[in-house]
Structure 1
Amino acid sequence: MKIIIIGSVAAGTSVAAKARRNNEDAEITIYNADYDISYSICGIPYFLGGEVDELEQLTPRDAAWFKKRYNVDIYTRHEVVAIDSNTKTIQVNNLETEETKEDHYDTLVFATGATPISPAIKGIDQKHVFQVRNIQNTAAIHQFMTTNQPKKVTIIGAGFIGLEMAEQLAHKGLDVTIVQRGKQIMSHLDKDMAFRVEKHLRKNNIHLLLHETAANITATSVDLESGKSIDTDMVILATGVKPNTKLAQTAGVKLGKTGGIAVNTKMQTNITDIYAVGDVAESFSFITNQPIYRPLGSTANKMGRIAGDIITGGSLEHRGILGTGILRVFDLAVGYTGLNEQEAIAEGFDIEVLHNIKPGNAAYLGGKEMVIKAIADRKTSHLLGVQIIGETGVDKRLDVFVTAISLKAKAEDLFHLDLAYAPPFSTTKDPVMYTGMALQNAIDKKNKLITPGELLDRINHGEAFQIIDTRAPKQYDVANVAGAINIPLAQLREKATELDHNLPTVTYCNKGVTGNAAQNVLLNMGFKEVFNLSGGNKNYQSYIKHN
């Protein structure tokens, strides 16, 4: 068996490693047009920011290492330029010598990755404008910064790479401006979560320009379509990537709805004995089974291992992904998994939404708040998606939610988890447990939730509510929900007789717990419909300031 793999970063090398573990006799060859193999794209910002000392730390393995460990032949600077699937042959150009050779395969794997999207901006090809995608890009940026000592940088795009570069270049002392074409950063987050990160960026002196589009880059500025001009010494393009499918298309390989190569659960394409893995291939949602494209190293490694196993007689299959992501933005961790609120609505789910604001560990040991936005399906009680923002404990909770969704747990199952507890690490009722409890109560219609956005929308459409602020008067006087009356919880039973039992009622406190207690009081007193404001006044005030 002769296996040829085109591309040698995460996915391609994973195919080779798994195939070799399964089959010692296979002939495995990797062709790679780039200079480097198996490097960490995700680590690039941290080298440029100085957290990684040497660029070589991002390229720990070379072709000789793979040959010695796996008996795999890797040819760098060799570009596959043509494929004949009928004869199972390929044409390969040696980019150093310009020689061309023909090779043949029994099985061919596309692991050609993704290419940066180059926006239509005049002046984009200048020497101080950089993409952030490979080791060569990284070395060029580092050399430019070392030689020219730029003071101001403009980053175009506010996704993962854009925000990571903003953090790292700010740490290096540069004055950072982010230009984002959309109305918010991080499109996978809902707006009511994204604005919390936007606020944090500005707090850390990042100039964030939303709903702006770069039109022209000069030697000293980035000019926007709105007429604004940004003084700059360097420009980073972080406008996303697209699957590198050009070669695959010429070979007759079909693309999917997302633009990536369409594959089945075994990573097989429409052409016999041709596979596709990693950033060049589309995946599918574990929740909806619909195609999605999420170019991440974790998914690429998984796809590569599956393909390597199948090619050599194994039975692994891809189970889909949740599109999980996490990044650090200064001292905040920002994570998400599954569907956001808008995606869940678009998919036709009848959803329950909870904003849970809790410390990651005991407050008396310095526990800091995290905001958890959880979305569940009312019909099945299954979790659909979670977004979390906080300083500590975010990754731990996110991974629990990922596991729960992957195992099709219901909201109520979260409450019954026997999670690790000690005051330095958690609270007695962990934020994960509370999230499940509150969601299930809402789904069961006992303790209905209402988000700030839903409340304001319904009021604007003419619905009448009586809104009860259950906090102390001094808290009410500082900030409150428009139209709310202040009845502290201790007085609620007495003053409830003055309220309309038949009018839809909203209770709230600062974050949600006391509001929930007040909700129970009114329900037990016969009030017809009572909602607890999701995330309390704290969430409401944040929402109205950014909408």
Structure 2
Amino acid sequence: MKIIIIGSVAAGTSVAAKARRNDENADITLYNADYDISYSICGIPYFLGGEVDELETLTPRSSEWFKKRYNVDIHTRHEVVEINPDQKVVTVKKLNTNEIIEDHYDTLVFATGAAPTTPQIDGVEMEHVFHVRNIQNTASIHSYMQAESPEKVTIIGAGFIGLEMAEQLKHRGLDVTIVQRSNQIMPHLDKDMAFRVEEHLRANGVNLLLNEEAAAITETSVETTKGSVIDADMVILATGVRPNTKLAEQIGVELGVSGAVQVNEKMQTNLPDVYAVGDVAESYSIVTGNPLYRPLGSTANKMGRIAGDVITGGDLAHRGILGTGILRVFDLAVGYTGLSEKDAVMEGFDIEVLHNIKPARAEYLGGKEMVIKAIADRKTGRILGVQIVGEDGVDKRIDVFVTAISLKARAEDLFHLDLAYAPPFSTTKDPVMYTGMALQNAMDKKNRIITPQELTNRIQNGEKIQVIDTRAPKQYEVSNVEGAVNIPLAELRAEAKQLDPAIPTVTYCNKGVTGNAAQNVLINMGFEEVYNLSGGNKNYQSFSKSNQ
């Protein structure tokens, strides 16, 4: 069997490696138009920032290494320019010599990846403007910085790469500005969670311009459509990627709704003996079953392994993804998985939303707060998605939530997890367990919660609500929910007689625990409709600032 794979970064090389493990006799060839194979795109910002000393560290494997280890032929600087699916022949151009050759296949795999999108901005082709996508881009940026010593950089786009580059170039001592055309960074996050990251960026000296779109680039500046002029002697384009589907489309391969190649669980396209994997291929959501495109190296490796197995007679199948991501922004970690609140609403779920603010481990051992936003389906109790922002323990918790959502866990299941506990690592009631407990209580209507957005909406709609601040007067005087009355918990039983138990009531404290205790007091006293404010005053104040 002759297998031809077009592309040799994460997905393509994974196809080849798994196919060879299954079949020693298969003839496996990879063609790649680029110079390098199997390199770490995600590691690029850390080389440019100086955390990775040598660029070669990001390209640990060569064509020669693959040949010796797997008996696989990888040809770099070889571009597949045409495919005849009827005769199963590819036409290949050797880019170093312009020689044209032909090769035949029994099975063809598209691992052509994705290309960075280039926004239509005057001056975008100038020499001090760079994409961040491959090793050649990286070498060019590094050489430019060494030769020109830029002092001010503008980054266009505030997704993963944009924020990672902001962090790393700030570490290098550059003056960094981010221009983002929408009203928040990181579009996969809900706005209330993204705002926490935006504040952290600004606190670390990054100039963040939201609702601004770059219109023109000059040798010394970036001009926006609103007339802002930003001094810049280097520009980084971080405006996302698009799947490289042109070659596949030419032979009739169908695309999905995301614009990437549509594949089934075996990574097969609509054409016989033609597969697609990695950033060129569309996945689907574990939660909804709907198409989902999230180009990540982890997914690319998984898809490649599945295709390599199927091609050589195996029975692996793709089980979908959650769109999980994690990012470091200075000393803050940002993780997310599954559906955001806005996604869940768009999908038609009746949702419960909880903001859980807890230390990652014992505070007496330096545990720092993290904010967990969890979304659950009221009908089934199933966890739909989680977002976490914090300095400590985010990676551990997000992976627990990933596992739970993948296995269709309900909120109540989280409380019963036998998670590892010792003060240096966790709290006795781990934040994951507490999240499940609070969500389940809310869905059982034992301890209902209300988000700052919901509370604001109900008040603005003219609904009469009594809001009780259960903190000490000094805390209340510093900041509070507009319209709240201050009744500390210790005084609530006596003062509750002055309240109307028939009016919807919201209790809150600083982060939620005392507010929950006050909620129980009022429920037991016969109040009909009592909510605890999700995330307490701390979350409310952050929400209010994000909407100013």
For residues 347 and 419 of structure 2, the distance between their equivalents in structure 1, rounded to whole angstroms, comes to 32
1:47 corresponds to: 47
For residues 520 and 507 of structure 1, the distance between their equivalents in structure 2, rounded to whole angstroms, comes to 10
Report the CA distance between 1:497 and its aligned residue.
Answer: 1.1
1:541 corresponds to: 541
Is the partner of 2:98 in helix, strand or coil?
coil
1:268 corresponds to: 268
- Count of residues in Structure 1 that have an aligned counterpart in Structure 2: 547
After TM superposition, the structure 1 = structure 2 runs for residues 32-111 of structure 1, keeping only pairs within 5 Å, are 32-111=32-111
1:436 corresponds to: 436
Is the partner of 1:119 in helix, strand or coil?
coil
2:384 corresponds to: 384
For residues 223 and 166 of structure 2, the distance between their equivalents in structure 1, rounded to whole angstroms, comes to 19
For residues 479 and 129 of structure 1, the distance between their equivalents in structure 2, rounded to whole angstroms, comes to 45
After TM superposition, the structure 1 = structure 2 runs for residues 492-511 of structure 1, keeping only pairs within 5 Å, are 492-511=492-511
For residues 148 and 66 of structure 1, the distance between their equivalents in structure 2, rounded to whole angstroms, comes to 37
2:233 corresponds to: 233
Give the residue type in structure 1 aligned to 2:285.
Answer: S
Say yes or no: does 1:198 pair with 2:177. no
Cα deviations across residues 57-108 of structure 1 (Å, max 9, x unaligned)?
A: 0000000000000000000000000111111111000001110011000000
Cα deviations across residues 508-529 of structure 1 (Å, max 9, x unaligned)?
A: 0000000001101111111000
Give the residue type in structure 1 aligned to 2:390.
Answer: G
Give the residue type in structure 2 aligned to 1:383.
Answer: I
Give the residue type in structure 2 aligned to 1:308.
Answer: G
For residues 524 and 255 of structure 2, the distance between their equivalents in structure 1, rounded to whole angstroms, comes to 57
1:132 corresponds to: 132
Give the residue type in structure 2 aligned to 1:500.
Answer: D
After TM superposition, the structure 1 = structure 2 runs for residues 161-200 of structure 1, keeping only pairs within 5 Å, are 161-200=161-200
For residues 131 and 485 of structure 1, the distance between their equivalents in structure 2, rounded to whole angstroms, comes to 53
Report the CA distance between 1:495 and its aligned residue.
Answer: 1.2
Instruction: Give the gaps of 5 or more residues in structure 2.
Output: none
Report the CA distance between 1:433 and its aligned residue.
Answer: 0.4
Say yes or no: does 1:248 pair with 2:248. yes
For residues 24 and 366 of structure 2, the distance between their equivalents in structure 1, rounded to whole angstroms, comes to 54
For residues 219 and 26 of structure 1, the distance between their equivalents in structure 2, rounded to whole angstroms, comes to 53
Give the residue type in structure 1 aligned to 2:256.
Answer: G
2:468 corresponds to: 468
Is the partner of 2:242 in helix, strand or coil?
strand
Percent identity between matched residues is 76
Give the residue type in structure 1 aligned to 2:82.
Answer: A
Is the partner of 1:491 in helix, strand or coil?
helix
1:160 corresponds to: 160
Report the CA distance between 1:494 and its aligned residue.
Answer: 1.2
2:532 corresponds to: 532
TM-score (norm 1): 1.00
Cα deviations across residues 170-214 of structure 1 (Å, max 9, x unaligned)?
A: 000000000000000000000000000000000000000000000
Report the CA distance between 1:415 and its aligned residue.
Answer: 0.5
For residues 501 and 220 of structure 2, the distance between their equivalents in structure 1, rounded to whole angstroms, comes to 65
Report the CA distance between 1:135 and its aligned residue.
Answer: 0.2
Is the partner of 1:266 in helix, strand or coil?
coil
After TM superposition, the structure 1 = structure 2 runs for residues 221-370 of structure 1, keeping only pairs within 5 Å, are 221-370=221-370
How large is the Cα RMSD of the aligned pairs? 0.4
For residues 375 and 508 of structure 2, the distance between their equivalents in structure 1, rounded to whole angstroms, comes to 20
For residues 106 and 170 of structure 1, the distance between their equivalents in structure 2, rounded to whole angstroms, comes to 50
For residues 520 and 416 of structure 2, the distance between their equivalents in structure 1, rounded to whole angstroms, comes to 22
For residues 308 and 546 of structure 2, the distance between their equivalents in structure 1, rounded to whole angstroms, comes to 48
Cα deviations across residues 295-340 of structure 1 (Å, max 9, x unaligned)?
A: 0000000000000000000000000000000010000000000000
Report the CA distance between 1:493 and its aligned residue.
Answer: 1.0
For residues 434 and 481 of structure 1, the distance between their equivalents in structure 2, rounded to whole angstroms, comes to 24
Say yes or no: does 1:22 pair with 2:31. no
After superposing on structure 2, the runs of 4+ consecutive aligned residues of structure 1 that deviate more than 3 Å are none
